[in-house]
Amino acid sequence: MMRRILLKEGTEFTGRSGATLKIETLPTQGYGGRLNGQIVVVRTFPPGEGRSLPHRHMDFDETYQVLDGIADAWIDGLDRRLTANGERFRIPSGTRHVNPHSNDNTGLRLRHTITPATEAALAYVNTLGQLMNQGRDDNGELPPLATLAVFDKMEGRTYLSQLPVWPQQRVLSPLAARIARRRGYAVWPARLAKGSDEGSGTP
C-alpha cells in the first residue's frame, strides 16, 4: 500500500539549488474521494533552471503567470517569452509544450495552476516536494524517470511529445517506473483533508 503524505496549503519545499515550491491552493475532496477544484503552486527557479522535456497532459489544463523575472516556453512548435506584466499563459490539455523556465540570468518566480486537480497531478506536486527536500530534484523539476514513475503509478495521462502514446503506456512508463524504484525514487501520493462536502479543505 502506498504511503500518502498530508499536503497543506502554505507548505514550502526547497531544492538543492535553491529552487522552491510553495503550495498555495489545494482542491477539496468530497464524497467518494472525488477531487473538486484546482492545484495552485508558486515556484521559483534560479537562473537557467526549470526546463522540462516536451510533453502533453491529456487530463488537465495548466496556466502560468510570471510574478518575477522572464520565462521562456515552447508550445506546439512556437517559442514564447513571458514577462511579469500580469499575462497568464494557458496550456490546454493535449497541447505539446515545454514548461516555462528560466533562461535569463535573473531567475524566475511564477504561479502554476492545474485544472482540474487529479490524483496524478497531486502526486506529482507532492513527489517533487519530497525530492526537493531530499536534495534529489533536477534543477527544480522532477527527474524524468521519477516523473514517468509518478504518472505510471497514479494512472495519469501525461506523455512525452516525441513518441506515440501506446508504447509509452505499455512499455516506457512501466519500465521507467521499475528503474526509478531501483534508484530509490518513491512515488508520494497526496492525502487531503476532507473537502467542502464533508468539511474544510485545509488541515
pLDDT in tens, 133-142: 999 999 899 9
> If you average pLDDT over every residue of the chain, what do you get?
89
pLDDT at 84: 83
C-alpha separations of 63 from 83, 144, 187 in Å: 14, 21, 24
What CATH number matches the domain at 5-191, 3.40.190.10, 1.10.10.10, 2.60.120.10, 3.90.1150.10? Answer: 2.60.120.10
Where along the chain do its domains lie? 5-191
Q: Residue 60: which of 43, 83, 40 has the closest Cα?
A: 40
Q: Do residues 73 and 33 touch, judged by C-beta distance below 8 A? A: no
Residues sharing a CB contact under 8 Å with residue 184, sequence separation 6 or more, in sequence order? none
pLDDT at 165: 92
Stated pTM of the model: 0.89
Buried b (16+ CB within 10 A) or exposed e, 107-128: bbbbbbbbbebbebbbbbbbbb
